[in-house]
Amino acid sequence: MNIYPLQGNPHADQDRRFKRHIDARLKEHFLKRKEILILLGSRQTGKTTLVRRIFPNAQYLLVDNEPVRRMLESYDIQVYRGALLPGAPELIIDEIHLLSNPGRAAKILYDQLPLKLILTGSSSFHIKNKTSESLAGRKIDYFLFPLTFSEYLVQTGVEEELNYSLFDYIVNGATERPYKLFDKQQILSRVLRYGLYPQLVNQPMDEEYLRNFADSLVFKDVLELNLIENKRVAADLLKMLAYQIGNLVSYAELATVLGADQRTVKRYIELFEQSFLLFRLYPFTGSGRNEISKAPKVYFYDTGLRNALIGDFSEITLRPDRGALFENFIIAECVKANLYTQSGYNLRYWRSKQKAEVDLVLVKDDRLIGVEVKYGKGTVSPAFTRRFPEAHIRVVTAENFY
């Protein structure tokens, strides 16, 4: 049973290689709070590496270890006391979503033992569905995504320090940017094709890894949640969504093609979203009558996973979906940065009945930012600037995104 604390930090001299934007918030958690620290995210985003690096002397329990699972599923405080090591400053329970009732186990530990508790889980829906009631008021959720572009540059040794260069530009406007000595376009091309999962730092351009990862992520983590009745429909739906990133999603059209009802399609998309595979971007309507719609757009948190689902890792310069991939990448970067920085913006898109569009709209209080995302040159729709003259305007391209 793997219940022993780590002996120091074996990666201390390589800390730079594992830097993440969320490091500081996790380090400060127990200095400010006593609640359970829950770290959520899809598989292979580096949750285990992160918590073991941030809390190097914690006792570590991996639920995928059968003796550990049996011990935790006793739901007996005396059994728990016997398994815990005295003196460990924190307790990490990794992959807690694998327990039959993770909330019950965490509640017993939190309520009856004086410990700092850290939980990780791969499926947001699975863990929240079982812990939302029993852990009410006892937990703080954090989210970990595939690497940001800056994290990738730092972990590959291209740059020394993390930054939010893209998000800063979008939120604050033009800033002085130092000249970059590395080939930004070459790295961007690689990222658009293969994505930003941490494994790609050591195994760049590994198509086999991504194909196997996509299969295991979809068929193991999502389809085996026992919440999906028709696995064929779910798998086909996910592939269809991968083909239409950045397009308006018609639940009715998807349902017709798949031979399913709209409620099933919506529910499956919600499961994909809550499992950190993709996210929906909803329309910004302001208060005008000229904007349409409740139809969202769908983007993937990682372009490499998306490309694995459609089986296409071809060169960026040869791809007709180059613009859609770049748009997906930029919007995903903004989603990550907005959450990591706790900036509090609502991210939307804008589209009028006349089909004028703005790819990304950031809204917060009375502040409005319209962002046009184009691989090549682009401009923000004049219809948007006329409709919202108070909006700040940004254009993000492959040349100026970083």
Task: Give 289's contacts (C-beta < 8 A, 6+ positions apart).
Answer: none
User: Nearest 5°: phi and psi at 277?
Assistant: -85, -40
At 136 the pLDDT is 87
Q: What is the pLDDT of residues 22-74, one digit of tens each?
A: 999 999 999 999 999 999 999 899 999 999 999 999 999 999 999 999 999 99
User: Which are the contacts of 318, defined by CB distance < 8 A and separation ≥ 6?
Assistant: none
Burial 39-72 (b: 16+ CB within 10 A, else e): bbbbbbbbbbebbbbbbbebbbbbbebeebbebb
pLDDT on residue 153:
96
Q: Letter for the amino acid at 35?
A: E
Query: What residue ranges of the chain are covered by domains with CATH 3.40.50.300?
Result: 12-143
Residues 397/377, Cβ–Cβ less than 8 Å: yes
Residue for token pair 């074996």: 10
Strand, coil or helix: what is 356?
coil
Here the tokens at position 117 are 């508790």
What backbone torsions phi and psi does residue 367 show, to the nearest 5 degrees?
-100, 135
Instruction: Order across the sheet with 36-40: list the strands.
Output: 59-62, 90-94, 116-121, 36-40, 139-143
Give the CA count within 13 Å in the CB-facing half-sphere of 345: 26
Q: What is the pLDDT of residue 284?
A: 94
- What is the sign of the dihedral through the CA atoms of 14, 15, 16 and 18? positive
Q: Quote the pLDDT of residue 12.
A: 42
Cβ atoms of residues 283 and 293 within 8 Å:
yes
pTM of the model: 0.92
Mean pLDDT by 10 residues, the chain (402 residues): 44 67 97 96 94 97 96 97 93 93 94 95 75 86 97 95 95 78 93 97 93 84 74 92 96 97 94 92 77 82 97 96 98 98 97 93 96 95 95 95 93
Residue 28 in tokens: 């400060």
CA distance 390 to 52: 46
Please state, in angstroms and rounded to a whole number, the distance separating the CA atoms of residues 88 and 28.
Answer: 18
| Assigned architecture for domain 12-143 | 3-Layer(aba) Sandwich (3.40)
Give pLDDT, residue 389.
96
Can you read off the two tokens belonging to residue 317? 């310069």
User: What's the token pair of residue 330?
Assistant: 């930029």
Please report the pLDDT score of residue 14 as a whole number: 55
Q: Tell me the backbone φ, ψ of residue 298, rounded to 5 degrees.
A: -115, 135
Q: Return d(Cα 371, Cα 389) in angstroms, integer.
A: 14
Q: In this structure, are residues 196 and 147 in contact, taking their beta carbons and an 8 Å threshold? A: yes
Inter-CA distances, 31 with 8, 48, 116, 255, 310, Å: 20, 21, 11, 49, 45
pLDDT at 143: 96
Is the torsion defined by CA of 396, 359, 213, 310 positive or negative?
negative
What is the per-residue DSSP string for 181-246? -S-HHHHHHHHHHH---THHHHSTT-HHHHHHHHHHIIIIIIGGGS--S-HHHHHHHHHHHHHTTT
